[in-house]
Structure 1
Amino acid sequence: MLTSRPIRIAGASGSASDRRHAMAAFAKAYPQDPVDVIISDYMSEANMVTAAARKIDASTAGQSYSDSNPLSLAAPAFEASFLEALEPALEDLAQYKIKVAVNAGASDTEGLFKIVCNMIEKKGLKIPVAWISGDEVFPAVDAALKSGKSHFKNIYTGEKLSEWKFEPIYAQAYLGGLGIAEAFAQGAQIVIAGRVSDASPVIGSAFWYHGWRRDQLHELANAFVAGHLVECSNYVTGGNFSGFRSLEQAGWDDIGYPIAEISKDGSVVITKQKNSGGAVTVDTCSSQLVYEIQGPYYYNSDVTALLEGLWFEQIGKDRVALHGVKGLPPPPTTKVGITARGGFQAEAYYFLTGLHVEDKARMLEKQLRKGLAPYSDKFTMLSFGVLGAAQPDADNQNAATATFRVFVQARSADDIAPKKFLRPVIDNIMQGYPGATFHLDFRQGIPKPYFEYYVTLLPQSEVQHKVHFNGQDTIVPPPPTTHVYAERQPSKEAPSISVDLDKFGPTVRAPLGTIVHARSGDKGSDCNCGFWVRHADEYTWLRNLLTVENIKQLLGKEYDTKRQPKIEIERFELYNMKGVHFLFRNLLDRGVTSTGSVDFLGKNCAEFLRSRHVDIPVKFLDRSRL
C-alpha cells in the first residue's frame, strides 16, 4: 500500500498477562478512531521456555499440536491467551479490513495458525491468514556446536555453550519484521509469528504500508523505536510509570492503549485510544523508551537505532513526537534464546511482626539452616530474605508485619521433596521467635520445575525466515548490508566535564525519586535502569550525581562484589532526553526463568533506587515534586 497518510498502528497487548479487551475495542471503534494495523505481543523469556518444554514433552509423548483439535491438549505450545483477544474482534476486523500482526506462536506457530483459520471459518468470515517460520533454530545451533564451527558465547555472561552445565532442548531466534511486511504485501490480513522481536510487527507494518526499501535506515530506525514504544501496550500510556500519581484524574482504572502514527519519511507520533484513561506525555514516552534497552545502540534484525540523541516533544494532548533517532545497519547476527531444564525449586514464608524484626529473622535463619543441613548439600541454591519492613508504632497489625522468605533450588525434585525442605521449615515453629507464624499455603513448598535460558547470537544467514500464505512459502532473505558492532556498548563512568555538586546550593536529604523519574527492566541476567528529569539544571545535577561509583553506593547490598558471575555496570547519557542510563550486568542472577530474586523481572530496581536518599538541592524541591 502506498499513501501519503501516516499508518496508524495500535498496540493491543504487551504480554500474556495483559488484559484481553483491547483488540476488540480497537476494531469496534474503527469508524470513530480508525487504525490500519493492530499489533499484539504475548511473548517473554518466561513463557518462551515453558512453551518449548511443552512442545518437547508433547513430542516425547507422541502428541502433535497440529492435530485436528490442538486445543484438546491442556497446555498448547503456543500462547493461547491470544485467542481470547482475537475471537471477539473477528467480525469487526473482517468488516473494516484491519490488519493484525501478532507475536504469539511461541513453539507451535503453525498449530496456532490452524486454530485461527478454523475459528474464522466457523464464523463464516473471509479473513486471509499467514504464518511466519524460521525462529525455531535448534538444528542449526546443534549442528554448529557439534561441528565446532561456533562456541555460541552467552551475550550476558561470556560463557561458552560447550561449557554450559545444562543440556539444551530448544533454541529460538528473534526474527525481524520483513516477513510480516511480505505477508501483508501478498494479501494476508492476519499474520501470526512465533518469535519475531518485540518491535518487528511495527517495523513490518510500516515497511509494507509505505513501500520502503531495506536501505532506508532512517525510516526503519524510527519505526523500530516506535515499535519499542507501543509493543508493551499501556507502558507508554501510564502503566508502570514513576509519575503515576499525576495520572489519577486521567483515570487509573482503565489505562488506554497506544497508537503509533508513522509517516512515509519515518516521522513518529505516539497517541492513544480516544476517551481512555492514562496519558501520553513526554514522561510516559521517556519511561517506555528506557525500558529494557542495553545502551546507546539498539539492535534489531532489520536495523540498528542509535538512541543517545533521542528526544520527545509534546505537540498536543496525548500526542508526543519522536525526534533524534539515527539509523544504522543491522548486525549480521540475531539473538537466540536456548532453553534447558534447570531443575526444581520451592519456597516457604514466615511472618515477622512488631519489634526486633532483624533479630527474629537472624534467629529463624539460624534454626532453619540447621534443620535443612542434612539435605542442603544437594541444594544448588538456598537463600533467606526479609521482604518489606514493619512500620514503627503501626496502627494495625498488617502494617507492623514483614515477610520472611526461604527459597531453594536443586537439580532433582527428590532433593527438595517436602520431607527435605518444606517439613523442616514448618517443623521449626515451636522453637521459633516470638509470634512465629508460617504461611499456611504450602503449595509453593512443593517442588516445581524451572528452566535455564541461555542467550547467544546466530548469523542471520543461517536463519530460514519464511512466510507461509495461500499454500505457498516465500523466503525472506537476510539483510544485504550489515555491520559488526563491538561486543560491549560504549560506557562512560562519569560526565566528560564534571560539575561540583556543591554549586547547586543548599540541599535536603530526601529520596532520589522526589524529583527523578526512573524505569527498569530485565534482559536475561541483566537489569537496566534509566533515570530522567524535567529541567535542564536538574539534568546537570543528575548526570553528575549518577556516576558509576555513586550508583554502586545507591545499590547498597544489591551490589554484591562476591557474586558470580560478577556484577558489572555500564553507563551512557541520553542528553537530549535529560536522562542517564545504567546496565547492571548479572544483577538478576540467571534471569526470570531461574533467578531466586522476587524482582525476577527487574521492574522494581528503579523503584528501589528512587527510594534511596540523596542530597537534593532545595531549589529543585521548591520548584516541583513527583
Structure 2
Amino acid sequence: MAPSNVTNRSGSKKRAIRIGGASGGVFDRFRSIQDFAKDPTIDVIFGDWISEISMTFRGNQRVERAQDEEALSFELSFISALEPAIRAVAKNKQKIAVNAGSCDAGAMAKKVQALCKEHGTDLKVSWVVGDDVTVQFKTLLAQGEKFASLPSDTPITDWGVEPVCAQAYLGAVGIAEALRDGADIVICGRVADASPVIGAAMWWHSWGREDFHELACALVAGHLIECSSYITGGYYSGFKQELLWANNITNLGFPIAEIEADGGLVITKEQDAGGILNVQTVTAQLLYEIQGPLYYNSDVTARLNNIKLVQESPTRVRVSSIEGYPPPPTTKIGITAKGGWQAEFHFFLTGLDIKEKAEMIERQTIASMGDYRKEFKILKFTVTGSCPVNPRNQDEATVDLRIFAQSKNPDVMSAGKHKGVAPDTPSFAKWCIENCLQGYPGGTPAMDMRQAVGKPFFEYWVALFPQSLIQHEAHTFGGRVLHIDPPKITKTYPRQQESYDTSSPLPLDTWGETIEAPLGFIVHGRSGDKSSDCNVGLFVRNEDEWDWLRSTLSIAKIKVLLDEEYRGGQIDRFEIPNLKAVHFLLKDHLDRGANSSSSYDILGKNVYTGEYLRAKTVSIPMRFLDRGKI
C-alpha cells in the first residue's frame, strides 16, 4: 500500500516519508542496510547503534585516548553494515541517519566519506556533535550541582566513584539541518534513540521546532522502530503460535515508519521477510523502556496514555491520538565512572540437596578468602534453576551456581598480574577452585577459567542537564559548522510522573468462575531497563479482558507477584485504555543498570519483571482461558 499525501499545517504537501529501522544495537543483523538500500521506496535508513553499555566503554576509550592513539571511539559494526549498501544508497538517492558515531562522530564521518569515495560514489557525509558535556558537567559539579539520579533521586556525591566523562542525549535539529544542507549520510554521537527519525521527518516535511504535534508523532515513530525487529516479533510473548509454530522465526523483517505531513503515522515492515507486525507487537514495543504517560525528548514531549492503534492490513498498523507538548528545558545525561574489576566462577550442582551444596560452596569460598573478603564490593552466590522430582536425565537434574565478584583491587581479581604481581598471589579464581577436593558431592567446576579473570567494569549515572549549556553543532561535508540553538519554548514538568491505581475496580466474581493459572496464559508483556529503573507493560487481547486486567493489577498486587524480587522501592503505575495495557515502573529496581549489574537479568527483561511476572499465578476467569492461551 502506497503512503498517502497529506498537507501539513505549514501548507506544504508531500507524500509520507518512509523510514527503515535498520538496527537496534551493535549486534543486530548486518543485512538490514543493504536490503533497505535495494528498496527505492525507502527514503531514509535509520539505525541505533549506541546503548548505555557502549556509552560507558566508548566514553572511557575517549578519556584514555592519550595513552592509545589507535583506540576507536565509534561503532565499527555500522561500517560493516554500511559498506555493502553504499552503491545502492547512491543509486536510489536515499539518506542515512544513525547514532553510530558514539564518542567520535567526526572520525567516523571521515572514515565513511573515504569509504563512499572508494566505492565510486559522491555521497556526502556530515556529522553532529555536542553530546560530550564533560567540561560543562564538571564545572557545574564544582559549583555544587547535585545531579540527582533519575532512578533514585540521590545526589551524585553519594555515588562513591569518580566521574570520568558525561554525554548528553541530543535532539533532532542538528540532523534536520545537516540533511537540509545536502548531506546524504549523517553520523551522530549520543542523540536520543528517536532523534534521527524526528530529524528526518523535520527535514522531509519542513516542520518547525514548534510543530509539537507532528514532532511528537515522529518521536513515537522513532521509539517504535528504534529496536528493529522487536516490533516485528522479536521478544514477543505471543511467539509460540504466531512465529514458532508458524515456522516464521528465522528472518524477522525490519520495520518501516511512514510519517505523513500532518503527523499521521503507519508502522509496517519489509514485505519479503518473515516476522509479524500487528497491534500486539506494536503495543509491546510502545510499552518498552518508557517511564510514564509522558515521553520526553530534547525537541518535544509526547503523551502516550490516549494513544490508539488500528490494524489497517495484515502488516500495517496506524498509530494515532498522540499528543505533543513542548520539550523540557533539560535533557538526560549519562555519566561514566570506572567501577573496578569484575569476574565470575561457576559450579554445577546435580540432584538432591541443592540448597545445602550451595551453602557449602559459599562457606568454604569465604573462608578461603579470609581478610581479603573485605576487598570485594560485591560477592554474590546465585543458584539458577532447580532439580525436579524424578528427573529424566542428568541435564534436567543439574543447576548452575554462579559466584560473582566486583572489586576495586585488581590484584585480588587477577587483573593486576601483568604489573609484576607474583603468580601465586591469592586471587578470586584460586579461592573459588581450591576447595574442589573438599567440596560437595559430585563437585564439578566450570573448566573455562577466563571468566574468573577480572575485567574492567563501569558505573553509570543518569541525571538531567540544562539544554542551554549544550554546544550542539552540525558539521557539514563542505566544512561549515551549523550551530543549533536550544529550544526557545520549553515546559518544566514535575520530576514525578502521574501514578495511580485504576478507578472503580470491579470485584473478581464479576467474571464468574475463575481458576488459578499463570498470568502469561492470557496476558502479553514487555519489560526493559533505563539505567537502574525497570519498566514492565502488561496488556490483553480482548475488550472484555481489560476490566479484569486493570482491576487485578494494582500496585499492591504487583508487589505480591514480585514476591522476593520486590525490594521495597517505589512503583509507579498508569493505564493506556485504548491498548488495554497497564504499565509499571519499578524505580531503582535493577542493580545499578546493565554496565555493573551482578544479576543475570542485566536488561530487566526476565527475572525482575516481564517474563517472571507472566509466570506467576493469578485468578483468571475460566471463560478467558477457554479462548486459548497466548
TM-score normalised by length of structure 2: 0.94
2:292 to 278, 290, 295: 295
1:336-347 superposed matches below 5 A = 336-347=333-344
SS in 1 for 2:509: helix
SS of residue in 2 equivalent to 1:251? coil
1:147 corresponds in structure 2 to 143
Amino acid at match of 1:472: R
In the other structure, the counterpart of 1:582 is 584
Tell me the residue number matched to 1:9.
19
Letter in 1 for 2:290: I
Quote the Cα distance in structure 2 between the aligned partners of 1:297 and 1:416.
43
Match for 1:513 among 517, 520, 543? Answer: 520
Instruction: Give the secondary structure class of the aligned counterpart of 1:483.
Output: coil
2:625 & 2:367 partners in 1: Cα distance?
50
Alignment of 1:98-137 (within 5 A): 98-137=94-133
Matched residue SS, 2:15: coil
* 1:355-402 CA-partner distances (Å, limit 9, x unpaired): 232232223223223223331111111111111222333322212211
Residue 94 (1) aligns with residue 93 (2): no
Alignment counterpart, residue 30 of structure 2, candidates 3, 15, 20: 20
Which one-letter code corresponds to 1:108 in the other structure? D
Cα deviation 1:485-514 (Å, max 9, x = unaligned):
01111111x212121113222112211100
Aligned with residue 593 of structure 2, among 591, 594, 598: 591
Gaps spanning 5+ residues in structure 2: where?
Answer: 1-7, 415-424
CA distance in 2, matches of 1:486, 1:250: 47
- Provide the rounded CA distance (Å) in 1 between the counterparts of 2:613 and 2:409: 36
Aligned pair partner of 1:317 in 296, 300, 314: 314
Q: Is the 8 A contact 1:250 1:277 kept in 2?
A: no
Aligned residues: CA RMSD: 1.4
The alpha-carbon deviation at position 250 of structure 1 amounts to 6.0
| Counterpart Cα distance in 1 of 2:467 and 2:429 | 47
Report the equivalent of 2:259.
Answer: 262
Secondary structure at the aligned position of 1:602 is classed as coil
User: What residue is the counterpart of 1:66 in the other structure?
Assistant: none
Are positions 1:477 and 2:477 aligned together? Answer: no
Q: 2:404 aligns with which of 394, 404, 407?
A: 407
Aligned to 1:539: 546
Deviates more, 1:417-426 or 1:274-283: 417-426
Give the share of equivalent positions with the same residue, in percent: 46
Partner of 1:67: none
Task: Give the structure 2 partner of residue 156 of structure 1.
Answer: 151
Shift of 1:3: 4.4
CA distance in 1, matches of 2:13, 2:90: 22
1:200 matched to 2:208: no
Deviation per CA, 1:93-142: give whole Å up to 9, x if none: 01111000001111111110111011112122100110001101101111
Bigger shift: residues 408-417 or 436-445? 408-417
Which aligned runs of 4 or more in structure 1 are off by greater than 3 angstroms? none
Are the counterparts in 2 of residues 3 and 209 from structure 1 also a CA contact under 8 Å?
no
In the alignment, structure 1 residue 423 sits paired with structure 2 residue 423: no
The answer to whether the aligner puts 1:48 opposite 2:52 as a matched pair is no
AA at the equivalent of 1:597: S
TM-aligned CA deviation for residue 429 of structure 1: 1.4
Mapping 1:54-93, distance limit 5 Å: 54-59=61-66, 61=67, 63=69, 73=70, 75-93=71-89
Q: Which residue of 1 aligns with 2:621?
A: 617
Provide, for residues 490-544 of structure 1, a one-character-per-residue CA deviation record: whole Å limited to 9, x for no partner: 111x212121113222112211100000000000011100000011221111111
Q: 2:574 aligns with which of 553, 564, 572?
A: 572
Superposition deviation, residue 335 in structure 1: 0.4
> SS at 1:8's partner residue?
strand
Once the two structures are superposed, what CA deviation does each residue of 1:443-472 show, in whole Å capped at 9, x if it has no partner? 111011100111111111111111111100
Greater displacement, 8-17 / 495-504: 495-504
> What is residue 452 of structure 1 aligned with on the other side?
459
- Whether the aligned pair in 1 keeps the contact of 2:31 and 2:81 (CA below 8 Å) is yes
Contact 1:4 1:264 in 2 (8 A): yes
Question: Which residue number corresponds to residue 351 of structure 1?
Answer: 348
Q: Distance in 1 between matches of 2:53 and 2:377?
A: 21
Q: Deviations over 1:566-624 (max 9, x none)?
A: x2211111111100000011111111111111100111130111111112111100022
Query: Equivalent residue for 2:208?
Result: 213
Contact kept, 8 Å, 2:412 with 2:426, in 1: the verdict is no
The alpha-carbon deviation at position 62 of structure 1 amounts to 6.0
Moved more, 131-140 or 497-506: 497-506
Out of 440, 443, 446, the residue aligned to residue 450 of structure 2 is 443
Shift of 1:320: 0.4
1:488, 1:415 → 2: CA distance?
Answer: 42
Contact 1:345 1:410 in 2 (8 A): yes
The answer to whether structure 1 residue 397 and structure 2 residue 394 are counterparts is yes
Matches of 1:62 and 1:597, distance apart in 2: 32
State the aligned residue count: 605
After TM superposition, the score normalised by the length of structure 1 is: 0.95
Q: Using a 3 Å threshold, how does the CA distance of structure 1 residues 250 and 320 change in structure 2: closer, same or farther?
A: farther
Structure 1 residue corresponding to 2:230, chosen from 231, 235, 242? 235
Residue 523 of structure 1, aligned match among 530, 554, 557: 530
| 8 Å contact from structure 1 (residues 250, 279) kept in 2 | no
Residue pair 1:12, 1:39 contacting (<8 A) in 2 also: yes
How far apart are the structure 2 equivalents of 1:421 and 1:343? 14
Deviates more, 1:301-310 or 1:500-509: 500-509
Rounded to whole Å, the distance in 2 between the matches of 1:324 and 1:396 is: 54
Paired residue secondary structure (2:465) = strand
